[in-house]
Chain A
Amino acid sequence: MRMRMSIPAKIVLYTFLVIVVIITFIPLFYTLTASFKTNMEIAGGGVNPFPATFAKLFTGDATIADLFDNYIQVFSGNGGWVGTKGNFFGYTLNSTFVSLLTVFFVVLFTSMSAYVFQRGHFPGQKFLYWLFLATMFIGAGSITIFPVLRITTKVGINNLFGLAIVQFGTAGASNLFLTMGYIKTISTELDQAARIDGCSFFSTWWRIILPLSKPILGTIALITFRGSWNNYLLPSLMLAKSQTATTLVVAVVKLQSMGGAGASQYNLMMAGTMLAVMPMLILFIAMNRTFVEGITAGAVKG
């Protein structure tokens, strides 16, 4: 239902929203313009949002290639640090691989475990359920990072695959509860119909529950993908020894400390940041509707 509002109330509301939008967009806008500037321009400060190259384009003193110089550098291998190459194309592939793998694990096992908890009956079910719940109250990240690193080092999975495994393992129980809530809204009549129509407990999940929980799983996939894509702490530690097999976000930060001659190459960082942010931005704009529907579908019976 659409809310009816008086005009003054609308003005207040929209003013507030516009301010929020501006505050949210300023850093993004700054990053975008800075990614076209030279390092000297950024270091020099000032309020001019437009890069000097931008004006030169019109006078003919610069080409389009000059404008995208920072981007070309981070891709061509010169955007890096002494001795190695800043291969942003490779980093993008790494990030994509890790994120997709994490999403695959999370979605598969969240759906399976939510189904078993919601529809199954087995000894120890309550205990396991509370165990899952308990994990929600233990702050993952900083507290668990040391034991996690010890384990991954011992097992020898300090690589992209291991990263996906750990990210899936620490994904948290909230996904489980969201999915359980969603499965609860699916009539058990369907389970019964499926059993009479020849489905086992497993094939009922595969043929009925899994396809029907697509909206909530889509939302979880999006959240998980974003989390994995933007994750910094864990990959930076797990992949510390490797310079080539690192993720996009980690690589961007590396541009700061490992910049040539010790100086931070902010211009390249900004270009790298834009590259790291763009895919998520596009994904979210495209999937906006699914995302919101999924969240609300879990909360309200559809």
Chain B
Amino acid sequence: MAEIRLEALKKDFDEVHALRSLDLVIRDHEFMVLLGPSGCGKTTLLRLIAGIEKPTDGRVCFDGEDMNGIEPMHRNVAMVFQNFGLYPHLNVFKNIAFPLQSLKWKPDAIEAKVKETAERLDITHILNRKPRQLSGGQKQRTALARAMVRDPAVFLFDEPLSNLDPKMRVEIRDLIAELHRSLKTTFVYVTHDQGEAMQLADRIVVMEEGMIRQIGTPAEIYNEPNSVYVAGFVGNPQMNFYAARMSDRDGECVVKFMGTEFTVPKSLIPEEQYRNESGKKIIAAVRPEDFRLIPDTEEAAKYHFEAAVRKIVTMGAGLYTELEAGGVVFTAVFQNHTEIAEGSTVTVHLDPSRIHLFDSESKLSVRTLARPEVTSDGTL
């Protein structure tokens, strides 16, 4: 059990700033996912927590205790690696027993503990095999067993699913989620896959270029992205961005894009902003699934516009369509079996409350601009 507190944590590799003064609190028992593209510093952050790397500056604290200078083993952390990190010359049993041998456990105690752990992960039948004789899923189960075997306070995962085939990915992902529920310890999980992040996380940290962009629950990250970067990174297919113009009309904020005017709710933008900056450019963004098709039979509601259907791709659960309206091309996702044909024109409705607005210069959400700074533990 451990609360991890990172204070002004910095890491430079020669001239490269991998992490630039980062503050973060990972709560006890929390499943925290570090999400970002490769090179954003998420793996470096994980290694600093593990103690494999030394910070250039700043502190890593476990339950308030400074971990600087404390060896990985004495931090009581366990790590699961992308390439499994199994010792190829040792069989599964010896791989799992490895950390216990380092801790100088007695042989019969080791055997009992390894067997118990192997049973829990359903790998007792492969204890005598070498890693090269295992499937990807079995390898990652063995790696999980090795991590679990000494009851660590913190589990660290470095893209553990990226080397597995899709079916096994789901299986191991569910296993990790189940382990988090039953072990009740702190999990820190690095991935570039937003789907994984959404499914596993209690909270997500979105990172870019060694900095934290946003911290929040999956729903917060998805529904209230605080910047163009987060909005664009999370969500598949990607969010649509439009160059829009906002204006103050009788005390209401009107945003115009795709040749249509939308009166947006006051919760989306602070009043003084659209009052003072009426006529200013702004970035409007809409998630592809927030568009709704209006059948010919239904009477057109407010906030609708005509769009030409350029392309349709059937992606199982939904239809990914490329639409064009007001000279702007954008993506929309509709339910499967929707009656729609390429080359036709459809009527599309958009609820203005689903629009996200970002400052065209700072690329930050205008909503966030009006709010106090996000504090280190993600609370507002």
Contact = CB atoms under 8 A, between A and B. Distances in A.
A187 B83 contact: yes
Interface stretch (A50-58, A196-204, A219-227): A196-204
Given A197-B73, A208-B87, A211-B89, A192 B99 contact: no
A198 B102 contact: yes
Contacts of B87: 190, 193-194, 208, 212
A195 B72 contact: yes
B88 interface: yes
Contact of B85 (A190, A207, A211): A190
A189 interface: yes
Interface string B71-86: 1110001110111011
Contact of A196 (B78, B82, B88, B103): B78
B291 interface: no
Interface in B62-114: 71-73, 77-79, 81-83, 85-89, 98-99, 102-103
B269 interface: no
Contact of B77 (A189, A196, A203, A211): A196
B81 A197 contact: no
Contacts of B103: 198
A225 B188 CA distance: 51
Measured as residues with beta carbon below 8 angstroms from the partner, the interface class of chain B is: 20 to 34
A198 B85 contact: no
B146 interface: yes
Contacts of A187: 83, 85
A189 B83 contact: yes
Contacts of A198: 72-73, 99, 102-103
B301 interface: no
A214 B47 CA distance: 29
Chain A: number of interface residues, binned into ranges: 10 to 19
Contact of B79 (A193, A208, A211): A193
A188 to B, nearest CB: 10
Given A187-B83, A189-B83, A196 B89 contact: no
A195 B52 contact: yes
B81 A189 contact: yes
Contact of A199 (B47, B77, B85, B102): B102
Contact of B81 (A192, A203, A214): A192
A194 B51 CA distance: 12
Contacts, number: 54
A291 to B, nearest CB: 20
A193 B102 contact: no
B98 A197 contact: yes
B348 interface: no
A192 B102 contact: no
A192 B88 contact: no
B154 to A, nearest CB: 11
Nearest to A212: B89
A189 B73 CA distance: 16
Contact of B72 (A189, A196, A212): A196
A189 B88 contact: no
Which of A187, A197, A207, A208 has the largest number of chain B CB atoms within 10 A?
Answer: A197
Contacts of A214: 89
B50 interface: yes
Contacts of B50: 192, 196
A190 B85 CA distance: 5
A293 to B, nearest CB: 15
A192 B89 contact: no
Contacts of A199: 102
Q: Which of B81, B83, B85, B99 is packed against the most chain A CB atoms within 10 Å?
A: B85
Contacts of B52: 192, 195-196
B102 A189 contact: no
A199 B104 CA distance: 12
Nearest to A198: B102
A183 to B, nearest CB: 14
Contacts of B98: 194, 197, 207
A2 to B, nearest CB: 24
A189 B77 CA distance: 16
A208 B99 CA distance: 13
Interface string A131-163: 000000000000000000000000000000000
B98 to A, nearest CB: 5
B186 to A, nearest CB: 15
Nearest to B73: A198
A46 B52 CA distance: 74
B89 A197 contact: no
Contacts of B51: 195-196
A126 to B, nearest CB: 15
A197 B102 contact: yes
Nearest to B147: A196
Given A192-B52, A212-B89, A197 B146 contact: yes
Contacts of B73: 195-198
Contacts of A195: 51-52, 71-73
10 contacts: A192-B81, A193-B86, A195-B52, A195-B71, A195-B73, A196-B99, A198-B72, A198-B73, A198-B102, A203-B102
Given A190-B85, A195-B73, 4 more contacts: A195-B71, A196-B72, A196-B73, A214-B89
